[in-house]
Protein backbone atom coordinates (compact mmCIF):
# COMPACT_ATOMS: atom_id res chain seq x y z
CA UNK A 1 0.00 0.00 0.00
CA UNK A 2 2.99 2.28 0.24
CA UNK A 3 3.03 4.63 -2.73
CA UNK A 4 6.35 5.97 -3.89
CA UNK A 5 6.78 8.67 -6.49
CA UNK A 6 9.85 9.98 -8.21
CA UNK A 7 9.03 13.52 -7.11
CA UNK A 8 9.84 14.82 -3.62
CA UNK A 9 7.11 15.00 -0.93
CA UNK A 10 5.27 18.32 -1.19
CA UNK A 11 3.86 20.78 1.31
CA UNK A 12 0.37 22.29 1.03
CA UNK A 13 1.43 25.94 0.75
CA UNK A 14 -0.38 29.01 -0.61
CA UNK A 15 1.12 28.58 -4.08
CA UNK A 16 -0.24 25.05 -4.42
CA UNK A 17 -3.67 26.10 -3.12
CA UNK A 18 -3.90 29.19 -5.37
CA UNK A 19 -2.96 27.12 -8.40
CA UNK A 20 -5.54 24.44 -7.56
CA UNK A 21 -8.28 26.99 -6.92
CA UNK A 22 -7.45 28.85 -10.14
CA UNK A 23 -7.46 25.71 -12.29
CA UNK A 24 -10.73 24.48 -10.81
CA UNK A 25 -12.43 27.89 -10.89
CA UNK A 26 -15.19 29.06 -13.24
CA UNK A 27 -14.53 29.22 -16.98
CA UNK A 28 -15.33 31.82 -19.64
CA UNK A 29 -16.08 35.41 -18.59
CA UNK A 30 -16.65 34.65 -14.91
CA UNK A 31 -13.38 32.70 -14.80
CA UNK A 32 -11.40 35.49 -16.40
CA UNK A 33 -12.81 37.99 -13.91
CA UNK A 34 -11.96 35.66 -11.02
CA UNK A 35 -8.37 35.31 -12.27
CA UNK A 36 -7.99 39.07 -12.51
CA UNK A 37 -9.50 39.88 -9.13
CA UNK A 38 -8.42 36.72 -7.32
CA UNK A 39 -10.57 34.04 -5.70
CA UNK A 40 -10.93 34.21 -1.95
CA UNK A 41 -10.20 30.87 -0.26
CA UNK A 42 -13.12 31.45 2.10
CA UNK A 43 -15.57 31.31 -0.85
CA UNK A 44 -14.30 28.05 -2.36
CA UNK A 45 -16.74 25.13 -1.98
CA UNK A 46 -14.81 22.38 -3.78
CA UNK A 47 -11.07 21.63 -3.84
CA UNK A 48 -9.21 18.89 -5.72
CA UNK A 49 -5.66 18.04 -4.58
CA UNK A 50 -5.16 14.48 -5.76
CA UNK A 51 -1.87 13.12 -7.17
CA UNK A 52 0.17 15.97 -5.64
CA UNK A 53 2.53 13.83 -3.52
CA UNK A 54 1.31 15.72 -0.44
CA UNK A 55 2.86 14.46 2.79
CA UNK A 56 1.01 16.65 5.31
CA UNK A 57 -2.41 18.36 5.34
CA UNK A 58 -1.91 22.04 6.13
CA UNK A 59 -2.98 25.64 5.39
CA UNK A 60 -6.67 24.84 4.86
CA UNK A 61 -7.92 27.04 7.70
CA UNK A 62 -9.17 29.75 5.31
CA UNK A 63 -11.46 27.37 3.37
CA UNK A 64 -14.38 27.85 5.76
CA UNK A 65 -17.03 27.29 3.05
CA UNK A 66 -15.46 24.12 1.64
CA UNK A 67 -17.94 21.28 1.13
CA UNK A 68 -15.92 18.85 -1.00
CA UNK A 69 -12.23 18.01 -0.51
CA UNK A 70 -10.31 15.52 -2.64
CA UNK A 71 -6.92 14.46 -1.20
CA UNK A 72 -6.66 10.96 -2.64
CA UNK A 73 -3.51 9.44 -4.15
CA UNK A 74 -0.99 11.31 -2.04
CA UNK A 75 1.43 10.14 0.70
CA UNK A 76 -0.45 11.63 3.69
CA UNK A 77 0.37 9.83 6.94
CA UNK A 78 -1.91 11.61 9.41
CA UNK A 79 -5.39 13.17 9.30
CA UNK A 80 -4.92 16.73 10.58
CA UNK A 81 -5.48 20.38 9.69
CA UNK A 82 -9.20 19.94 8.94
CA UNK A 83 -10.65 21.49 12.12
CA UNK A 84 -11.92 24.67 10.39
CA UNK A 85 -13.71 22.83 7.57
CA UNK A 86 -16.95 22.50 9.51
CA UNK A 87 -19.12 22.66 6.36
CA UNK A 88 -17.36 19.74 4.69
CA UNK A 89 -19.80 17.14 3.32
CA UNK A 90 -17.51 14.96 1.17
CA UNK A 91 -13.93 13.95 2.00
CA UNK A 92 -11.69 11.61 -0.01
CA UNK A 93 -8.46 10.48 1.67
CA UNK A 94 -8.13 7.21 -0.23
CA UNK A 95 -4.78 5.86 -1.43
CA UNK A 96 -2.61 7.43 1.27
CA UNK A 97 -0.47 6.11 4.14
CA UNK A 98 -2.85 6.87 7.02
CA UNK A 99 -2.59 4.51 10.00
CA UNK A 100 -5.23 5.91 12.38
CA UNK A 101 -8.61 7.62 12.11
CA UNK A 102 -8.30 10.98 13.89
CA UNK A 103 -8.66 14.74 13.41
CA UNK A 104 -12.33 14.61 12.33
CA UNK A 105 -13.99 15.87 15.52
CA UNK A 106 -15.28 19.15 14.01
CA UNK A 107 -16.62 17.72 10.74
CA UNK A 108 -20.17 17.41 12.01
CA UNK A 109 -21.70 17.81 8.52
CA UNK A 110 -19.63 15.12 6.81
CA UNK A 111 -21.78 12.62 4.91
CA UNK A 112 -19.30 10.80 2.69
CA UNK A 113 -15.85 9.67 3.89
CA UNK A 114 -13.38 7.58 1.89
CA UNK A 115 -10.30 6.13 3.59
CA UNK A 116 -9.92 3.34 1.02
CA UNK A 117 -6.45 1.84 0.59
CA UNK A 118 -4.62 3.08 3.69
CA UNK A 119 -3.04 1.37 6.72
CA UNK A 120 -5.91 1.64 9.20
CA UNK A 121 -6.34 -1.23 11.63
CA UNK A 122 -9.14 0.07 13.87
CA UNK A 123 -12.47 1.83 13.25
CA UNK A 124 -12.86 4.58 15.86
CA UNK A 125 -12.76 8.37 16.45
CA UNK A 126 -15.73 8.98 14.14
CA UNK A 127 -18.22 9.89 16.89
CA UNK A 128 -18.72 13.49 15.71
CA UNK A 129 -19.81 12.40 12.22
CA UNK A 130 -23.49 12.13 13.11
CA UNK A 131 -24.59 12.65 9.48
CA UNK A 132 -22.30 9.98 7.99
CA UNK A 133 -24.02 8.08 5.17
CA UNK A 134 -21.15 6.59 3.16
CA UNK A 135 -17.97 5.10 4.65
CA UNK A 136 -15.28 3.49 2.49
CA UNK A 137 -12.60 1.58 4.43
CA UNK A 138 -11.68 -1.10 1.90
CA UNK A 139 -8.06 -2.29 1.50
CA UNK A 140 -6.92 -1.51 5.02
CA UNK A 141 -5.69 -3.64 7.96
CA UNK A 142 -8.97 -4.03 9.89
CA UNK A 143 -9.10 -7.52 11.38
CA UNK A 144 -11.40 -7.37 14.41
CA UNK A 145 -15.07 -8.07 13.69
CA UNK A 146 -16.03 -6.16 16.87
CA UNK A 147 -15.10 -2.96 14.99
CA UNK A 148 -18.37 -3.39 13.10
CA UNK A 149 -20.38 -2.91 16.29
CA UNK A 150 -18.87 0.57 16.70
CA UNK A 151 -20.65 1.61 13.49
CA UNK A 152 -24.12 0.98 15.00
CA UNK A 153 -24.10 4.52 16.42
CA UNK A 154 -24.26 6.04 12.92
CA UNK A 155 -27.98 5.97 12.28
CA UNK A 156 -27.71 7.51 8.80
CA UNK A 157 -25.05 5.07 7.52
CA UNK A 158 -26.31 3.31 4.38
CA UNK A 159 -23.17 2.41 2.42
CA UNK A 160 -20.09 0.62 3.78
CA UNK A 161 -17.00 -0.78 2.09
CA UNK A 162 -14.64 -3.13 3.97
CA UNK A 163 -13.47 -5.48 1.20
CA UNK A 164 -9.74 -6.08 1.13
CA UNK A 165 -9.47 -6.12 4.94
CA UNK A 166 -8.66 -9.27 6.96
CA UNK A 167 -12.11 -8.94 8.54
CA UNK A 168 -13.74 -9.50 5.13
CA UNK A 169 -12.20 -12.96 4.91
CA UNK A 170 -14.25 -14.22 7.87
CA UNK A 171 -16.90 -16.69 6.68
CA UNK A 172 -19.54 -14.91 8.81
CA UNK A 173 -18.49 -11.46 7.53
CA UNK A 174 -21.58 -10.54 5.51
CA UNK A 175 -24.05 -12.16 7.92
CA UNK A 176 -22.46 -10.42 10.88
CA UNK A 177 -22.68 -7.00 9.22
CA UNK A 178 -26.29 -7.58 8.12
CA UNK A 179 -27.22 -8.52 11.68
CA UNK A 180 -25.42 -5.74 13.50
CA UNK A 181 -26.01 -2.97 10.92
CA UNK A 182 -29.63 -3.66 9.89
CA UNK A 183 -30.15 -0.25 8.24
CA UNK A 184 -27.21 -0.71 5.87
CA UNK A 185 -28.26 -0.79 2.19
CA UNK A 186 -24.97 -1.36 0.35
CA UNK A 187 -21.97 -3.43 1.45
CA UNK A 188 -18.84 -3.53 -0.68
CA UNK A 189 -20.70 -1.88 -3.58
CA UNK A 190 -23.48 -4.49 -3.61
CA UNK A 191 -27.03 -4.09 -2.38
CA UNK A 192 -27.97 -6.23 0.62
CA UNK A 193 -31.15 -8.25 0.02
CA UNK A 194 -33.89 -8.50 2.64
CA UNK A 195 -33.72 -12.32 2.77
CA UNK A 196 -30.09 -12.25 3.88
CA UNK A 197 -30.93 -9.64 6.52
CA UNK A 198 -33.67 -11.86 7.91
CA UNK A 199 -31.34 -14.89 8.07
CA UNK A 200 -28.62 -12.79 9.72
CA UNK A 201 -31.05 -11.48 12.32
CA UNK A 202 -32.18 -15.00 13.19
CA UNK A 203 -28.61 -16.28 13.43
CA UNK A 204 -27.41 -13.51 15.75
CA UNK A 205 -30.71 -12.78 17.51
CA UNK A 206 -29.54 -13.61 21.05
CA UNK A 207 -26.38 -11.50 20.77
CA UNK A 208 -28.28 -8.66 19.12
CA UNK A 209 -30.96 -8.64 21.84
CA UNK A 210 -28.30 -8.53 24.53
CA UNK A 211 -26.47 -5.74 22.72
CA UNK A 212 -29.68 -3.73 22.29
CA UNK A 213 -30.36 -4.07 26.02
CA UNK A 214 -26.90 -2.68 26.83
CA UNK A 215 -27.35 0.08 24.26
CA UNK A 216 -30.71 1.04 25.74
CA UNK A 217 -29.20 1.23 29.22
CA UNK A 218 -26.33 3.33 27.90
CA UNK A 219 -28.74 5.58 25.99
CA UNK A 220 -30.84 6.05 29.12
CA UNK A 221 -27.72 7.03 31.08
CA UNK A 222 -26.64 9.44 28.37
CA UNK A 223 -30.09 11.02 28.29
CA UNK A 224 -30.06 11.36 32.08
CA UNK A 225 -26.64 12.99 31.96
CA UNK A 226 -27.78 15.33 29.19
CA UNK A 227 -30.90 16.24 31.17
CA UNK A 228 -28.76 16.96 34.23
CA UNK A 229 -26.40 19.12 32.18
CA UNK A 230 -29.28 21.07 30.68
CA UNK A 231 -30.85 21.49 34.11
CA UNK A 232 -27.55 22.73 35.52
CA UNK A 233 -27.26 25.25 32.68
CA UNK A 234 -30.77 26.53 33.50
CA UNK A 235 -29.78 26.89 37.15
CA UNK A 236 -26.57 28.70 36.15
CA UNK A 237 -28.59 31.08 33.97
CA UNK A 238 -30.61 31.86 37.12
CA UNK A 239 -27.35 32.21 39.14
CA UNK A 240 -28.59 29.70 41.76
CA UNK A 241 -26.87 26.48 40.70
CA UNK A 242 -26.22 23.99 43.51
CA UNK A 243 -28.44 25.86 45.94
CA UNK A 244 -31.20 23.27 45.67
CA UNK A 245 -29.64 20.95 48.22
CA UNK A 246 -26.89 20.60 50.78
CA UNK A 247 -23.99 21.64 48.53
CA UNK A 248 -23.28 25.02 50.15
CA UNK A 249 -23.62 23.61 53.66
CA UNK A 250 -21.38 20.64 52.83
CA UNK A 251 -18.79 22.94 51.27
CA UNK A 252 -18.60 24.89 54.55
CA UNK A 253 -17.40 21.75 56.34
CA UNK A 254 -15.36 20.24 53.48
CA UNK A 255 -12.22 22.19 54.45
CA UNK A 256 -13.13 22.77 58.10
CA UNK A 257 -10.72 20.55 60.05
CA UNK A 258 -11.61 22.07 63.43
CA UNK A 259 -15.34 21.79 62.73
CA UNK A 260 -14.93 18.11 61.92
CA UNK A 261 -13.24 17.53 65.28
CA UNK A 262 -15.84 19.55 67.18
CA UNK A 263 -18.67 17.52 65.66
CA UNK A 264 -17.61 14.62 67.92
CA UNK A 265 -18.47 16.59 71.08
CA UNK A 266 -21.50 15.39 73.08
CA UNK A 267 -24.66 17.22 71.96
CA UNK A 268 -23.06 18.75 68.86
CA UNK A 269 -24.44 16.09 66.49
CA UNK A 270 -28.05 17.05 67.24
CA UNK A 271 -27.18 20.74 67.10
CA UNK A 272 -25.51 20.26 63.70
CA UNK A 273 -28.45 18.37 62.21
CA UNK A 274 -30.93 21.08 63.28
CA UNK A 275 -28.59 23.76 61.87
CA UNK A 276 -28.22 21.89 58.57
CA UNK A 277 -31.99 21.44 58.12
CA UNK A 278 -32.68 25.15 58.62
CA UNK A 279 -29.73 26.20 56.45
CA UNK A 280 -30.81 23.99 53.53
CA UNK A 281 -34.37 25.38 53.71
CA UNK A 282 -32.99 28.90 53.22
CA UNK A 283 -30.84 27.69 50.30
CA UNK A 284 -33.93 26.14 48.69
CA UNK A 285 -35.78 29.44 49.15
CA UNK A 286 -32.96 31.23 47.33
CA UNK A 287 -32.99 28.60 44.59
CA UNK A 288 -36.75 28.71 43.97
CA UNK A 289 -36.81 32.50 44.12
CA UNK A 290 -33.91 32.63 41.65
CA UNK A 291 -35.73 30.46 39.12
CA UNK A 292 -38.86 32.61 39.33
CA UNK A 293 -36.82 35.79 38.87
CA UNK A 294 -35.04 34.25 35.89
CA UNK A 295 -38.41 33.63 34.27
CA UNK A 296 -39.33 37.27 34.83
CA UNK A 297 -36.04 38.48 33.33
CA UNK A 298 -36.50 36.17 30.35
CA UNK A 299 -40.07 37.37 29.80
CA UNK A 300 -38.89 40.99 29.99
CA UNK A 301 -36.14 40.32 27.44
CA UNK A 302 -38.48 38.44 25.09
CA UNK A 303 -41.03 41.26 25.21
CA UNK A 304 -38.29 43.80 24.52
CA UNK A 305 -36.97 41.86 21.51
CA UNK A 306 -40.50 41.53 20.10
CA UNK A 307 -41.06 45.28 20.45
CA UNK A 308 -37.77 46.03 18.72
CA UNK A 309 -38.49 43.65 15.82
CA UNK A 310 -42.03 45.01 15.38
CA UNK A 311 -40.74 48.60 15.31
CA UNK A 312 -38.03 47.75 12.77
CA UNK A 313 -40.43 45.79 10.57
CA UNK A 314 -43.05 48.55 10.61
CA UNK A 315 -40.41 51.14 9.76
CA UNK A 316 -39.05 48.99 6.92
CA UNK A 317 -42.53 48.60 5.45
CA UNK A 318 -42.99 52.35 5.43
CA UNK A 319 -39.60 52.75 3.76
CA UNK A 320 -40.46 50.16 1.11
CA UNK A 321 -43.70 51.99 0.29
CA UNK A 322 -41.84 55.28 -0.13
CA UNK A 323 -39.25 53.65 -2.38
CA UNK A 324 -41.92 51.84 -4.44
CA UNK A 325 -43.75 55.12 -5.10
CA UNK A 326 -40.47 56.82 -5.96
CA UNK A 327 -39.45 54.08 -8.41
CA UNK A 328 -42.75 54.33 -10.25
CA UNK A 329 -42.04 57.99 -10.81
CA UNK A 330 -38.34 57.27 -11.34
CA UNK A 331 -38.84 55.31 -14.56
CA UNK A 332 -41.27 57.86 -15.92
CA UNK A 333 -38.88 60.70 -15.14
CA UNK A 334 -35.90 59.03 -16.84
CA UNK A 335 -37.97 58.24 -19.92
CA UNK A 336 -39.32 61.79 -20.01
CA UNK A 337 -35.79 63.21 -19.92
CA UNK A 338 -34.63 60.83 -22.68
CA UNK A 339 -37.58 61.76 -24.92
CA UNK A 340 -37.23 65.52 -24.37
CA UNK A 341 -35.56 67.37 -27.26
CA UNK A 342 -35.33 70.89 -25.83
CA UNK A 343 -32.20 71.52 -23.78
CA UNK A 344 -33.94 73.93 -21.42
CA UNK A 345 -36.72 71.42 -20.76
CA UNK A 346 -34.17 68.66 -20.13
CA UNK A 347 -32.34 70.81 -17.61
CA UNK A 348 -35.62 71.68 -15.89
CA UNK A 349 -36.64 68.01 -15.67
CA UNK A 350 -33.21 67.03 -14.35
CA UNK A 351 -33.49 69.67 -11.63
CA UNK A 352 -36.98 68.47 -10.74
CA UNK A 353 -35.82 64.86 -10.61
CA UNK A 354 -32.83 65.80 -8.46
CA UNK A 355 -35.25 67.42 -6.04
CA UNK A 356 -37.29 64.17 -5.98
CA UNK A 357 -34.14 62.22 -5.12
CA UNK A 358 -33.27 64.67 -2.34
CA UNK A 359 -36.81 64.45 -1.03
CA UNK A 360 -36.62 60.63 -1.00
CA UNK A 361 -33.33 60.81 0.90
CA UNK A 362 -34.85 63.15 3.46
CA UNK A 363 -37.94 60.96 3.86
CA UNK A 364 -35.90 57.79 4.37
CA UNK A 365 -33.52 59.50 6.79
CA UNK A 366 -36.47 60.95 8.70
CA UNK A 367 -37.98 57.49 9.00
CA UNK A 368 -34.65 56.18 10.28
CA UNK A 369 -34.36 58.99 12.84
CA UNK A 370 -37.88 58.28 14.03
CA UNK A 371 -36.96 54.61 14.44
CA UNK A 372 -33.78 55.54 16.31
CA UNK A 373 -35.78 57.67 18.74
CA UNK A 374 -38.42 54.96 19.13
CA UNK A 375 -35.84 52.25 19.79
CA UNK A 376 -33.89 54.49 22.14
CA UNK A 377 -37.02 54.97 24.23
CA UNK A 378 -37.73 51.21 24.15
CA UNK A 379 -34.15 50.38 25.13
CA UNK A 380 -34.18 52.91 27.97
CA UNK A 381 -37.43 51.46 29.30
CA UNK A 382 -36.04 47.92 29.09
CA UNK A 383 -32.86 49.05 30.81
CA UNK A 384 -34.81 50.53 33.71
CA UNK A 385 -36.96 47.40 34.02
CA UNK A 386 -34.05 44.94 33.92
CA UNK A 387 -32.02 46.98 36.40
CA UNK A 388 -35.02 47.04 38.73
CA UNK A 389 -35.48 43.27 38.38
CA UNK A 390 -31.81 42.59 39.02
CA UNK A 391 -31.74 45.04 41.93
CA UNK A 392 -34.75 43.39 43.57
CA UNK A 393 -33.24 39.94 43.01
CA UNK A 394 -29.92 40.93 44.56
CA UNK A 395 -31.60 42.65 47.49
CA UNK A 396 -33.75 39.64 48.36
CA UNK A 397 -30.90 37.16 47.88
CA UNK A 398 -28.71 39.23 50.19
CA UNK A 399 -31.51 39.23 52.74
CA UNK A 400 -31.75 35.43 52.55
CA UNK A 401 -27.97 35.07 52.73
CA UNK A 402 -28.07 37.24 55.87
CA UNK A 403 -30.42 34.64 57.37
CA UNK A 404 -27.77 31.99 56.60
CA UNK A 405 -25.23 34.10 58.44
CA UNK A 406 -27.62 34.52 61.37
CA UNK A 407 -28.01 30.74 61.56
CA UNK A 408 -24.23 30.33 61.46
CA UNK A 409 -23.80 32.94 64.23
CA UNK A 410 -26.41 31.20 66.38
CA UNK A 411 -24.78 27.81 65.77
CA UNK A 412 -21.39 29.29 66.64
CA UNK A 413 -22.70 30.63 69.94
CA UNK A 414 -24.29 27.28 70.87
CA UNK A 415 -21.17 25.35 69.83
CA UNK A 416 -18.93 27.64 71.85
CA UNK A 417 -21.22 27.25 74.85
CA UNK A 418 -21.04 23.45 74.60
CA UNK A 419 -17.24 23.55 74.18
CA UNK A 420 -16.73 25.80 77.24
CA UNK A 421 -18.97 23.55 79.36
CA UNK A 422 -16.96 20.50 78.32
CA UNK A 423 -13.70 22.31 79.08
CA UNK A 424 -14.96 23.11 82.57
CA UNK A 425 -15.94 19.44 83.08
CA UNK A 426 -12.51 18.30 81.91
CA UNK A 427 -10.79 20.74 84.28
CA UNK A 428 -12.94 19.54 87.19
CA UNK A 429 -12.51 15.90 86.21
CA UNK A 430 -16.25 15.49 85.69
CA UNK A 431 -16.07 14.48 82.00
CA UNK A 432 -17.55 10.99 81.71
CA UNK A 433 -17.48 10.60 77.92
CA UNK A 434 -14.30 9.58 76.14
CA UNK A 435 -13.12 11.95 73.41
CA UNK A 436 -10.83 11.11 70.47
CA UNK A 437 -7.24 12.21 71.07
CA UNK A 438 -7.31 14.89 68.32
CA UNK A 439 -10.50 16.36 69.86
CA UNK A 440 -9.15 16.26 73.42
CA UNK A 441 -6.04 18.12 72.22
CA UNK A 442 -8.29 21.18 71.61
CA UNK A 443 -9.13 21.39 75.33
CA UNK A 444 -5.70 22.42 76.56
CA UNK A 445 -7.05 25.76 77.74
CA UNK A 446 -9.87 28.20 77.05
CA UNK A 447 -7.96 30.16 74.37
CA UNK A 448 -7.26 27.01 72.36
CA UNK A 449 -10.87 25.86 72.26
CA UNK A 450 -12.20 29.38 71.62
CA UNK A 451 -9.75 29.76 68.72
CA UNK A 452 -10.78 26.37 67.27
CA UNK A 453 -14.48 27.24 67.38
CA UNK A 454 -13.73 30.68 65.96
CA UNK A 455 -11.65 29.28 63.08
CA UNK A 456 -14.50 26.96 62.14
CA UNK A 457 -16.93 29.88 62.31
CA UNK A 458 -14.73 32.05 60.07
CA UNK A 459 -14.52 29.34 57.39
CA UNK A 460 -18.31 29.00 57.33
CA UNK A 461 -18.89 32.75 57.05
CA UNK A 462 -16.31 33.00 54.27
CA UNK A 463 -18.10 30.30 52.24
CA UNK A 464 -21.43 32.08 52.64
CA UNK A 465 -19.90 35.45 51.73
CA UNK A 466 -18.12 34.03 48.68
CA UNK A 467 -21.30 32.41 47.34
CA UNK A 468 -23.21 35.65 47.80
CA UNK A 469 -20.45 37.70 46.15
CA UNK A 470 -20.26 35.25 43.25
CA UNK A 471 -24.01 35.46 42.65
CA UNK A 472 -24.13 39.26 42.83
CA UNK A 473 -21.06 39.67 40.61
CA UNK A 474 -22.37 37.31 37.95
CA UNK A 475 -25.87 38.76 37.75
CA UNK A 476 -24.49 42.30 37.58
CA UNK A 477 -22.02 41.26 34.90
CA UNK A 478 -24.84 39.57 32.97
CA UNK A 479 -27.09 42.60 32.73
CA UNK A 480 -24.13 44.94 32.08
CA UNK A 481 -22.98 42.87 29.11
CA UNK A 482 -26.56 42.43 27.90
CA UNK A 483 -27.24 46.18 27.88
CA UNK A 484 -23.88 46.89 26.30
CA UNK A 485 -24.64 44.43 23.49
CA UNK A 486 -28.11 45.89 22.93
CA UNK A 487 -26.68 49.40 22.58
CA UNK A 488 -23.90 48.22 20.24
CA UNK A 489 -26.36 46.23 18.10
CA UNK A 490 -28.56 49.30 17.71
CA UNK A 491 -25.58 51.46 16.70
CA UNK A 492 -24.58 48.86 14.10
CA UNK A 493 -28.14 48.58 12.82
CA UNK A 494 -28.39 52.34 12.43
CA UNK A 495 -25.06 52.61 10.61
CA UNK A 496 -26.01 49.79 8.28
CA UNK A 497 -29.38 51.39 7.48
CA UNK A 498 -27.85 54.81 6.85
CA UNK A 499 -25.31 53.17 4.55
CA UNK A 500 -28.09 51.38 2.65
CA UNK A 501 -30.00 54.63 2.19
CA UNK A 502 -26.91 56.46 0.93
CA UNK A 503 -26.01 53.65 -1.46
CA UNK A 504 -29.52 53.55 -2.90
CA UNK A 505 -29.71 57.33 -3.31
CA UNK A 506 -26.22 57.39 -4.86
CA UNK A 507 -27.34 54.71 -7.31
CA UNK A 508 -30.41 56.59 -8.55
CA UNK A 509 -28.41 59.83 -8.64
CA UNK A 510 -25.73 58.17 -10.78
CA UNK A 511 -28.43 57.05 -13.22
CA UNK A 512 -29.52 60.63 -13.56
CA UNK A 513 -25.96 61.90 -13.86
CA UNK A 514 -25.31 59.44 -16.70
CA UNK A 515 -27.92 61.23 -18.80
CA UNK A 516 -25.61 63.87 -20.29
CA UNK A 517 -27.32 66.61 -22.17
CA UNK A 518 -25.07 66.26 -25.18
CA UNK A 519 -25.82 62.58 -25.57
CA UNK A 520 -29.52 63.21 -25.17
CA UNK A 521 -29.56 65.91 -27.84
CA UNK A 522 -27.67 63.69 -30.26
CA quadruple 80, 86, 87, 91: dihedral, nearest 10? 20
pLDDT value, residue 26? 55
**10-221 is classed in which CATH architecture?**
Alpha-Beta Horseshoe (3.80)
DSSP conformation letters of 188-226: TTEEPPHHHHHHHHHHTHHHHHHHHHHHHHHHHHHHHHH
Chain segment 343-376, per-residue pLDDT in tens:
777 677 777 778 888 898 999 999 999 999 999 9
The span from the CA of 25 to the CA of 42, in Å, is: 13
C-alpha Rg value of the chain to the nearest Å: 37
The span from the CA of 125 to the CA of 138, in Å, is: 17
**Cα–Cα separations (whole angstroms), residue 114 to 136, 227, 281:** 5, 35, 59
User: Chain centroid to CA 273: how far?
Assistant: 42
Q: What 8-state DSSP symbol labels residue 239? A: T
The span from the CA of 55 to the CA of 103, in Å, is: 16
| Least confident segment among 234-238, 303-307, 356-360, 453-457 | 356-360
The span from the CA of 99 to the CA of 119, in Å, is: 5
- 328-343: b (≥16 Cβ within 10 Å) or e: eebeebbeebeebeee
DSSP conformation letters of 51-108: SS-EEE--S-TT-TT--EEE--SS---S--S-TT-TT--EEE--SS---S--S-TT-T
Angle at 169 between CA 167 and CA 171, to 5 degrees: 105
Chain segment 369-411, per-residue pLDDT in tens:
999 999 999 999 999 999 999 999 999 999 999 999 999 999 9
pLDDT value, residue 27? 45
The span from the CA of 314 to the CA of 312, in Å, is: 6
Count of CB atoms situated within 10 Å of the CB of 93: 25
Helices 446-513 and 247-254, interaxial angle, to 10°? 130
**Does residue 178 have a pLDDT over 80?**
yes
Which distant-in-sequence residues (6+ apart) come within 8 Å of 108 by Cβ? 86, 128, 129, 130, 131
Hey, which residues does 135 pair with through a beta bridge?
113, 160
CA distance from start to end of the chain: 76
Helices 343-428 and 446-513, interaxial angle, to 10°? 170
Q: How confident is the model at residue 39 (pLDDT cuts 50, 70, 90)?
A: low
pLDDT value, residue 517? 47
Domain spans of the chain, in order of start? 10-221, 246-517
**Does residue 35 have a pLDDT over 50?**
no
Angle at 233 between CA 227 and CA 234, to 5 degrees: 90
Global confidence as pTM: 0.71
Chain segment 291-350, per-residue pLDDT in tens:
999 999 999 999 999 999 999 999 999 999 998 888 877 767 767 666 766 777 767 777
Cβ(350)–Cβ(512) below 8 Å: yes
Cβ(446)–Cβ(393) below 8 Å: no
Mean pLDDT within 131-150: 94
| Least confident segment among 26-35, 75-84, 100-109, 328-337 | 26-35
Chain segment 258-279, per-residue pLDDT in tens:
888 888 888 898 999 999 999 9
Count of CB atoms situated within 10 Å of the CB of 29: 8
**Percent above pLDDT 90 for the chain:** 66
Amino acid sequence: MNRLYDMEPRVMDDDMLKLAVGEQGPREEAGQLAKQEGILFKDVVSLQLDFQNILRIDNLWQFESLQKLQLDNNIIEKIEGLENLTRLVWLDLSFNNIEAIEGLDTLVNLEDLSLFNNRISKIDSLDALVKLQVLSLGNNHIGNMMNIIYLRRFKALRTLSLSGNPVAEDEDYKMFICAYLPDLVYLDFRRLDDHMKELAEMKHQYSIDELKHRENLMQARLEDEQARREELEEHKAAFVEQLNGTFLFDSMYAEDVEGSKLSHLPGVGELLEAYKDKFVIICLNIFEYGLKQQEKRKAELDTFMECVQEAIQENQEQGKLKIAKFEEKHLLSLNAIREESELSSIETKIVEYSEDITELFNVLMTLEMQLVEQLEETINMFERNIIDLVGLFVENVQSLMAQCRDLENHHHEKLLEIAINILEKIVKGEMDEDLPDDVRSLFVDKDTIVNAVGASHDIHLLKIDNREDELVTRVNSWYTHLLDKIHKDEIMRNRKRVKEINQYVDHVQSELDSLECGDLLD
